[in-house]
């Protein structure tokens, strides 16, 4: 009975979404206050019904209701309860339900904290969000119903894909979706601005924390995904330029551009049209990302079997959203343009350059990701674009951003003097060169590692110089408002990230080896001794567990237990063993037995020494913190004391 209730709840939510999407926009157009007033109650009602549907699906998983096809496909009696809950978003249908649920959380938060906005504008914003919800709910109801029945009911279900049975996976999709969906607020804002033909700076100020929070969540989601890939999927890689990784990375890049462009628009009024365009792109790419992951049009580690109806719906939905908003943009953008002029040496220029690079980088990633589809359409054959394409172009495009980064905070709005910039340039250049020279001796002249040290020092010292300048020049208590602290944290994070990427990429040592019990391999200054495998068992798997003892100069460092797990339905999954450290990770993965009949014999093992790999995620976390911190700025809160503080609890709720 309950699954039908869930289905009914979704249909009611769709009707309410229609009301929320159409009536307030008509009301705003006609100046009808009663119609505009529909927006908030409709949004609240829709949220209640979607929450109900989501809750019912969770309930079905928790109570093993295998009469629901989706539950039967993705869980079984032996699956622990926490993975049964994570299984809700473990496949296509449920993850779309999660998406719409999170959209509702954002909408309700927006409805609650938009009282200071002019009623007409708020009605348009909520209306646009309602229309987005209509698209998603229709998609779920007509093509991807999570409540479909499976009769007769099987005694036990299938299994949640073993790669998803990892703590990283429980966080990754909800956090990532918080980011994707969060960009819908900036999008709704821009569309509402275009519909009304004006975009006041005060409204942009109001929108900024939402975008920052969305971007911060997206950063967190990408970090979680990268970590998960490292530990679960990739045999020690942290980024593969896989279509699905790219799908989350493109909105992140455009989002990074957007939060900077919004700052310009809010403070100076300029780049309005550009800000609007970026928010349209950010949200469109989020949609594309959601669908790329779930539709299976591209071959990827995440690809799901596809259904042509879904693909068609997705294509139409994307066409309406992207095409419609770009058309509106073309018609209305000239109306909202304006703002103060700026000179070549100014903060606006620096931001514009970095914006350009971020956007071009996103376009480059988009081209590489969709190229197989293009190639297919043009009958070029089955083509894929290899990671070196991205690995070659991306650093090249980001180089100007990294070079400009230390100067950004020092530049003034509108027009800046060159003199203070020269002193900054001199100091960061000396610091970077000095550290690069020292590093050159330590890393055996590895160019990439030296460049990594120099670039990281360049960013970090540049950021710290500004911290010092504020410390010296500004009285206590006003030195680091949250907005600035966030910016500094994120910029510092770029430096940390660069250390991680370039040092781990250049100095890592990987070895795939064949080891018989008792044999030792030396990697760097570590000795790895293989002590054989024994059987191990978990709630829904059994495994061959290897024992690898690591020593350094005869002193014990770690005993590692990599596993080769076999899950209930026969799926095999490698669980790597990782000995984490600030300056290095040791990583051992168990390959296969050399002779399947002789498990106590030799095995294939992959051994890794990865210096500074953790700094990659630390850098990402710094950026995430930066996003959250700047959203908490009091300046955004002045006219809505309670609002900004409430954003965080909303986030916590959806993760729970």
Partner 1 sequence: MNPTRKRRLTIVVSVLAAAAVAIGLTVFALQQNMNYLFTPSQVQSGEASAYKTFRLGGMVKAGSIQRASDSLKVTFTVIDAGGAMPVEYTGILPDLFRDNQSVIATGHMDNARFIATEVLAKHDETYMPKELKDAMAKAHEGKKVDGAAAQDNKPGAPQP
Interacting residues toward partner 1 by CB under 8 A? 69, 73-74, 90-92, 150, 158-159, 161, 163-164, 235, 296-297, 299, 301-306, 360, 364, 367-368, 371-372, 375-376, 381-389, 392-393, 396, 512-514, 564, 569, 571-574, 589, 591-592, 594-595, 604-606
Q: Residue 647 CB, nearest distance to partner 1 (Å)?
A: 33
Q: Residue 154 CB, nearest distance to partner 1 (Å)?
A: 10
Q: How far is CA 400 from CA 218, 531, 599, in A?
A: 23, 50, 53
Residue closer to partner 1 (CB basis): 556 or 570: 570
Q: Residue 108 CB, nearest distance to partner 1 (Å)?
A: 31
Q: How far is CA 266 from CA 110, 259, 263, 404, 642, in A?
A: 19, 10, 5, 22, 21
Cβ count near 426 (within 10 Å) = 10
CB-based contact 591:606 (threshold 8 Å): yes
Residue closer to partner 1 (CB basis): 330 or 594: 594
Residue closer to partner 1 (CB basis): 241 or 466: 241
- Taking alpha carbons only, the member of 210, 92, 69 closest to residue 643 is 210
Q: How far is CA 479 from the centre of its chain?
A: 31
Q: Residue 591 CB, nearest distance to partner 1 (Å)?
A: 4
Q: What is the largest CA-CA distance in the chain?
A: 81
Q: Residue 73 CB, nearest distance to partner 1 (Å)?
A: 5
For residue 597, what is the enclosing H or E element? Answer: none
Residue closer to partner 1 (CB basis): 430 or 594: 594
Q: Residue 597 CB, nearest distance to partner 1 (Å)?
A: 12
Taking the C-alpha atoms of residue 334 and residue 577, their distance in angstroms, rounded to an integer, is 57
Residue closer to partner 1 (CB basis): 349 or 551: 349
DSSP assignment of 491-538 equals HHHHHHHHHHHHHHHHH-EEEEEEE-TT-EEEETTEEEEEEEEEEEE-
Taking the C-alpha atoms of residue 494 and residue 492, their distance in angstroms, rounded to an integer, is 5
Q: Residue 432 CB, nearest distance to partner 1 (Å)?
A: 25
Residue closer to partner 1 (CB basis): 123 or 273: 273
Q: Residue 623 CB, nearest distance to partner 1 (Å)?
A: 25
CB-based contact 562:569 (threshold 8 Å): no
Q: How far is CA 577 from CA 162, 233, 572, 590, 625, in A?
A: 17, 13, 16, 9, 28
Paired strand residues for 577: 588
Residue closer to partner 1 (CB basis): 120 or 362: 362
Q: Residue 361 CB, nearest distance to partner 1 (Å)?
A: 10
CA angle 573, 577, 578 (to 5 degrees): 135
Cβ count near 31 (within 10 Å) = 9
Taking the C-alpha atoms of residue 84 and residue 78, their distance in angstroms, rounded to an integer, is 10
Burial of 369: CB neighbours in 10 Å, binned 0-12, 13-18, 19+? buried
Who's near 37: CB < 8 A, 6+ residues apart?
Answer: 27
Residue closer to partner 1 (CB basis): 31 or 570: 570
Residue closer to partner 1 (CB basis): 269 or 395: 395
Q: Residue 208 CB, nearest distance to partner 1 (Å)?
A: 27
Residue closer to partner 1 (CB basis): 208 or 294: 294
Which H, E and C letters describe 124-181, residue by residue? HHHHHHHHHHHHHHHHHHHHCCCCCECCCCCCCCCCCCHHHCCHHHHHHHHHHHHHHH
Burial of 95: CB neighbours in 10 Å, binned 0-12, 13-18, 19+? buried
Residue 474 has what DSSP assignment?
Answer: S
Residue closer to partner 1 (CB basis): 22 or 78: 78
Q: Residue 66 CB, nearest distance to partner 1 (Å)?
A: 12
Residue closer to partner 1 (CB basis): 10 or 297: 297
Exposure letters 462-483 (e unless 16+ CB within 10 A, then b): bbbbbbeebeeeeeeeeebbbb
Q: Residue 533 CB, nearest distance to partner 1 (Å)?
A: 15
Q: Residue 298 CB, nearest distance to partner 1 (Å)?
A: 8
Residue closer to partner 1 (CB basis): 29 or 371: 371
């Amino acid at each position: 009975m309950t699954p039908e209730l869930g289905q009914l709840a979704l249909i009611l939510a769709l009707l309410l979404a229609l009301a929320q999407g159409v009536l307030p926009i008509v009301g705003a157009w006609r100046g009808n206050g009663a119609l505009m007033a529909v927006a908030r109650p409709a949004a609240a009602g829709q949220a209640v019904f979607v929450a109900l549907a989501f809750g019912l699906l969770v309930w079905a998983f928790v109570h093993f209701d295998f009469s629901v096809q989706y539950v039967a496909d993705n869980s079984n009696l032996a699956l622990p309860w926490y993975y049964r809950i994570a299984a809700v978003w473990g496949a296509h249908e449920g993850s779309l339900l999660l998406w719409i649920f999170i959209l509702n959380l954002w909408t309700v938060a927006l409805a609650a904290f938009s009282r200071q906005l002019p009623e007409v504008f708020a009605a348009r914003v909520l209306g646009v969000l309602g229309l987005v919800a209509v698209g998603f709910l229709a998609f779920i109801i007509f093509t991807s119903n999570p409540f479909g029945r499976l009769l007769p009911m099987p005694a036990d279900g299938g299994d949640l894909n073993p790669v998803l049975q990892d703590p990283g996976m429980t966080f990754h999709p909800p956090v990532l979706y918080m980011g994707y969906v969060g960009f819908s607020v900036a999008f709704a804002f821009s569309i509402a601005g275009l519909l009304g033909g004006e975009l006041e700076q005060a409204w942009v100020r109001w929108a900024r924390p939402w975008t920052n929070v969305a971007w911060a969540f997206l950063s967190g989601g990408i970090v979680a995904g990268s970590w998960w890939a490292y530990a679960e999927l990739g045999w020690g890689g942290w980024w593969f330029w896989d279509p699905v990784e790219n799908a989350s990375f493109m909105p992140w890049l455009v989002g990074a551009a957007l939060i900077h462009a919004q700052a310009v628009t809010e403070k100076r009024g300029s780049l309005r049209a550009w800000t609007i365009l970026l928010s349209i792109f950010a949200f469109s790419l989020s949609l594309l990302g959601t669908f790329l992951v779930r539709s299976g049009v591209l071959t990827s580690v995440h690809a799901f079997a596809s259904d042509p109806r879904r693909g068609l719906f997705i294509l139409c939905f994307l066409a309406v959203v992207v095409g419609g908003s770009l058309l509106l943009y073309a018609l209305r953008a000239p109306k909202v343009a304006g703002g103060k002029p700026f000179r070549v040496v100014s903060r606006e220029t620096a931001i514009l350059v970095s914006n350009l690079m971020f956007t071009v980088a996103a376009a480059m990633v988009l081209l590489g990701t969709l190229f197989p589809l293009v190639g297919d359409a043009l009958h070029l054959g089955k083509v894929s674009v290899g990671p070196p394409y991205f690995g070659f172009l991306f650093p090249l495009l980001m180089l100007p951003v990294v070079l400009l980064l230390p100067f950004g905070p020092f530049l003034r709005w509108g027009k800046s003097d060159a003199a203070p910039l020269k002193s900054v340039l001199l100091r960061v250049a000396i610091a970077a060169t000095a550290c690069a020279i020292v590093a050159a001796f330590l890393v055996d002249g590895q160019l990439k590692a030296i460049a990594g040290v120099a670039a990281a020092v360049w960013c970090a010292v540049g950021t710290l110089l500004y911290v010092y300048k504020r410390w010296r020049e500004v009285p206590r208590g006003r030195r680091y408002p949250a907005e600035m602290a966030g910016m500094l944290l994120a910029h510092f994070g770029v430096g940390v990230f660069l250390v991680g990427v370039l040092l781990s990429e250049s100095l890592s040592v990987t070895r795939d080896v064949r080891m018989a019990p008792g044999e030792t391999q030396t990697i760097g200054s570590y000795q790895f001794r293989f002590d054989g495998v024994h059987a191990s068992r978990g709630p829904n798997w059994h495994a061959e567990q290897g024992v690898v003892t690591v020593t350094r100069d005869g002193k014990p460092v770690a005993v590692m237990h990599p596993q080769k797990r076999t899950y209930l339905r026969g799926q095999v999954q490698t669980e790597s063993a990782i000995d984490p450290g600030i300056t290095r990770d040791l990583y051992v993965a168990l390959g296969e037995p050399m002779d399947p009949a002789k498990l106590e014999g030799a095995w294939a093992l992959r051994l890794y020494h990865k210096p500074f790999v953790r700094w990659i995620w630390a850098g990402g976390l710094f950026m995430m913190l930066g996003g959250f911190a700047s959203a908490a700025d009091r300046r955004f809160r002045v006219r809505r004391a309670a609002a900004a503080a409430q954003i965080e609890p909303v986030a916590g709720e959806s993760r729970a």
